[in-house]
Amino acid sequence: MTTKQKIEQMIMPAFRQHTDRDGNRTDVTEVYPEMRELLEKHGFAGVMLFAQNTPTNEIAARLISDIRKASERPGRPDLFLAVDQEGGAVTRLGQGTQGPGNMALGATGDPELTYRMARLSAGELRALGFDMNAGPVLDVNSNPDNPVIGVRSFSDDPRTVAAHGIMYERGMRDEGIIPVLKHFPGHGDTATDSHTGLPCIRKTGEELENCELIPFRACLEDGAQAVMTAHIQFPCLSEAETIPGREEPFVLPATLSRPVLQGLIRERYPDTLIVTDSMGMAGVNQAFTPVQAAKRAILAGVDILLMPVDLARPDGPEKLEAYIDGLTSMAGSGEIPESVLDAAVDRILAVKGTHVFRTAAPGDTETVGSPAHHETEWEITKRAITLLKNRNGAIPLKPDTDVLIVVPFESEINSAKYALSRLEEEGNLATRGRIRIGCLENETDDGICKKLTEGGTLIAISAVYGPAYLRPDLPQGESLVRLDCIQVRARTLGCRIIRISAHLPYDTARFRDADAVLAAYCAKGMSEDPRFRENGVRGYGPNLPAALYLTLHKQPEFHGRLPVRIPE
């Protein structure tokens, strides 16, 4: 390879959206001319796809195949086709099986279920032609104020995260998908999102060894081949540097830090592929130009630079060309030693050499989001639902109880209807009373309260996505305030109160006056019944329906246990 070819092999772009000459931005579902030109010209490490690229199985499989064909050249290494189909809150396949998410899997207490879910998901990725998945998330969600990890984490206990992380990456590997462990050395104890800022974790090295690093060590020892870096400062690992143009000394984020990447990964696991998180995120661009940040990352030990340029912008292709040329020039001048490039490309090619690349064959995509997969997902999700409180036998419901279910968002109306339809089909609905649904998004509190029945049951569902949602003085906290007011009205009518925490379970600390409290760990609604695929299934989540199904069941069985501690 030439020096430029080595640089190209260390870059993994994304083509999420495209802006045409008239300024119209559209999702990329086929290879457009400028994209084809880049793929033909440059031998990239791979391409990262997102939800914009994969609305249906047919589109995803065709796009992956066309990307491969556009990049094919004699002697050029195959592309990694990557995605971050974590499951639960972060899913990309429009028609794929979404899964309950990591925190829900942690709540099952059974890593074997995590293996089953990961292997099912990996099989769907493989059927579409993917090779690589940015997961499992190994961040230990030890900070309840974390704005970006939350239910994407298995637990706030590092050993629980390790146990489920190992089974997740094994499930991926056993179906031929390369798992990428993230976000190294750990994004769990942050109160800043590295997409929009630069988080800093002020722990000692010993504290990191006893928490954040435990899951990563366990999975790397188990044979995982790749790890994704976090754009987070760790002052205990990286000394502050004087950077031209900055008044204060600057601690390099992990992605750019040689002590982090060399000291914690390369020296112990020399063959591990180190992939950055998106190089377009704010956390890695605080002190350097994009090309300077890339140089720092390469010198620190990075092998693949992920999404360095926003190719949705009209000038995106030009910027990517300048990015490649800038790094090539640095290598030519000795700023980046050729030996460093050689070692990185050797690691990339070594992983590619152990992998079988393929595209979707006719009939492969029929398994993606199939009814059988949804049933597996449903059974696993039910095992995660956690009953935290059940005073005076609020669950199961009395046979003649009228019920009002209140959901935060309109899409969750279908979640409630889905649970009810399953119960009615099975003959397992606990009550013969009237069941109504109210929605905070499109109804007033008075309108919802008119649906209450004296002596009935109120099932109030909250969805907390971060600490701001627990603040009654902030707009995000309005939903919880409204549910509290509806609960007060229900109490005056002698209603029993059941509260369901649909997303982050930290709101359960507020529900002391409720008769029953449950946690579900992912609040996604749904557009249609996922058991039927005539028009495709997009944006559904199994967690809330499973929680309502068990709440309204004649003989419910609850197996879930809280995987995180709930602050007072």
Residues catalogued as catalytic: 195, 277
Q: Are residues 391 and 360 in the same domain?
A: no
* Residues 460, 335 share a domain: no
What confidence score (pLDDT) does residue 195 get?
Answer: 81
Domain final residue, candidates 332, 364, 396:
364
Measuring CA to CA, which residue among 547, 327, 326 is closest to residue 416? 547
Q: Are residues 359 and 389 in the same domain?
A: no
Strand 17-19 vs strand 11-12: parallel, antiparallel, or unpaired?
Answer: unpaired
Q: Are residues 357 and 389 in the same domain?
A: no
Select from 149, 156, 335, 128 the least CA-distant residue to 230.
149
- Whether residue 3 lies inside any domain: the answer is no
pLDDT above 80 (res 535): no
No. of helices (H) and no. of strands (E), the chain: 17, 18
Residue 245: what pLDDT?
A: 80
Domain membership of residue 567 (yes or no) is: no
Please state the rounded mean pLDDT for residues 142-161: 95
Looking at residue 385, what is its pLDDT? Answer: 98
Q: Which residue has the tokens 């909250």?
A: 462
* Residue 425 tokens, joined: 């089909």
Q: Is residue 142 in some structural domain?
A: yes
Confidence of residue 538 (pLDDT cuts 50, 70, 90): low
One domain, residues 128 and 64: yes
Which of 316, 331, 364 represents a domain boundary (last residue)?
Answer: 364
DSSP character string of 242-291: --TT-SS-EEPBGGG-HHHHIIIIITT-TT-EEEPSPTTSGGG-SSS-HH
Residue 393 lies in a domain: yes
Are 357 and 475 in a shared domain? no
- In eight-state DSSP terms, residue 313 is S
Contact 119, 171 (CB under 8 A): yes
Position 196 scores a pLDDT of 78
Please give the backbone phi and psi of residue 172, each rounded to the nearest 5 degrees, phi first: -65, -50
Cβ-contact 386, 518 below 8 angstroms = yes
- Which amino acid is it at 334? G
pLDDT of residue 534: 59
Q: Is residue 562 part of a domain?
A: no
Whether residue 393 is found in the same domain as residue 345: no
pLDDT at 536 over 80: no
Measured CA to CA, the distance from residue 440 to residue 484 in angstroms comes to 12
pLDDT (mean) for 75-94 = 96
Task: Provide the pLDDT confidence category of residue 533 given band limits of 50, 70 and 90.
Answer: low
Confidence of residue 458 (pLDDT cuts 50, 70, 90): very high
Both 353 and 412 in a single domain? no
Q: Please, what is the average pLDDT of the chain?
A: 95
Domain of 400, CATH number, reads 3.40.50.1700
Report if residue 224 sits inside a domain: yes
Whole-number Å distance between alpha carbons of 332 and 341: 11
In a domain, 41, yes or no: yes
State whether 393 and 277 are in the same domain. Answer: no
pLDDT at 530: 77
Residue 204 in any domain: the answer is yes
Q: Alpha carbon of 207 to those of 29, 132, 327, 419: distances in Å? A: 45, 31, 36, 44
Kindly state the average pLDDT of the residues 19-31: 93
Q: How do strand 80-83 and strand 17-19 relate by DSSP bridges?
A: unpaired
Strand 46-48's sheet: what is its strand order?
46-48, 80-83, 132-133, 178-184, 226-229, 273-275
| Domain CATH number, residue 105 | 3.20.20.300
pLDDT of res. 540: 86
Residue found by looking up tokens 């019920």 in the block: 403
Task: Point out the least confidently predicted range of 188-202, 346-360, 523-537.
Answer: 523-537
Provide, rounded to the nearest whole percent, the portion of the chain with pLDDT above 90.
88
The predicted structure's pLDDT at residue 147: 83
CA torsion through residues 466, 467, 471, 473, sign? negative
How many structural domains is the chain composed of? 2
- Across 199-215, average pLDDT: 95
Residues 524, 498: Cα–Cα separation, whole Å: 20
For residue 537, the model assigns a pLDDT of: 56
pLDDT average, residue stretch 393-413 = 96
Residue type for 144, please?
A: P
**Window from 21-25, 27-31, 261-265 with minimum mean pLDDT:** 21-25
pLDDT above 70: percentage of residues in the chain: 99
Looking at the structure, tell me whether residues 166 and 46 fall in a common domain: yes
What pLDDT was estimated at residue 531? 75
Quote the longest CA-to-CA distance of the chain. 81
* Range 68-72 contact pairs with CB under 8 angstroms and sequence separation of 24 or more: 68/129, 68/357, 68/359, 70/31, 70/35, 70/36, 70/39, 70/40, 71/39, 71/40, 71/43, 71/44
Co-location of 42 and 87 in the same domain = yes
Q: What is the pLDDT of residue 21?
A: 84
Predicted pLDDT at 384: 98
Q: What confidence tier does 359 reach under pLDDT thresholds 50, 70, 90? A: confident
Report residue 287's pLDDT band, with 50, 70 and 90 as the boundaries.
Answer: confident
Tokens linked to 218: 């366990």
CA–CA separation, 156 and 525 (whole Å): 26
Over residues 141-153, the mean pLDDT reads 93
pTM: 0.96
- CB within 8 Å of 478: residues ≥ 6 apart: none
Residue 384 · residue 521 · CB < 8 Å: yes
pLDDT (mean) for 204-210: 96
State the average pLDDT over residues 227-231: 96
Q: Are residues 271 and 212 in the same domain?
A: yes
pLDDT beyond 70 at 34: yes
Please tell me the predicted confidence (pLDDT) of residue 197. 85
- Per the structure, the complete domain to which residue 482 belongs is given by 385-551
Round to whole Å and give the CA distance between 549 and 426: 11
Residues 467-493: pLDDT tens digits? Answer: 899 999 999 999 999 999 999 999 999
* Burial of 20: CB neighbours in 10 Å, binned 0-12, 13-18, 19+: exposed
Rounded average pLDDT over 532-555: 84
Name residue 205's amino acid: G
Residue 11 pLDDT > 70, yes or no?
yes
